[in-house]
Amino acid sequence: MAFRRFIYERFAHRAEAYLHRAVAVMLGCLFLHHGARAGLDHRYRDHNAVVRKHLGHAYFFA
C-alpha cells in the first residue's frame, strides 16, 4: 500500500480542489443551520432510534 502513495504523488499537481463553498470567516458569522446529530445509517440495529428537535452546532459566542 505504501508504494501506491508514490504513484498518486506523481499526479498531485493535477489534483483539482472543490472550493465552491461559503466560508464562515469571510461572512462574519457561523452557519448553525445543519443538524449536528448521529446518523441512523450506521447504528446498532437492536436499539431504538432517538429523535430530538432543534439539534445544531454549538453557539460559540453565547
Question: Which tens digits make up the pLDDT trace of 9-60?
Answer: 666 666 666 666 655 455 555 656 555 555 555 555 566 666 666 666 666 6
Residues 6+ apart with CB under 8 A from 60: 30
> What's the pLDDT score for residue 2?
59
Domain residue limits, the chain: 22-62
8 A C-beta contact, residue 31 and residue 22: yes
**What is the C-alpha to C-alpha distance for residues 62 and 56, in angstroms, rounded to an integer?**
14
Q: What value, to the nearest 5°, has the Cα angle with vertex 40 and ends 17 and 53?
A: 95
How high is the pLDDT of residue 25?
A: 54
Using the structure block, give the residue that is written with the C-alpha cell 493535477: 14
SS3 9: helix
Q: Quick one: pLDDT at residue 9?
A: 66
What's residue 55's pLDDT? 63
**Which residue did the predictor score with more confidence, 9 or 1?**
9
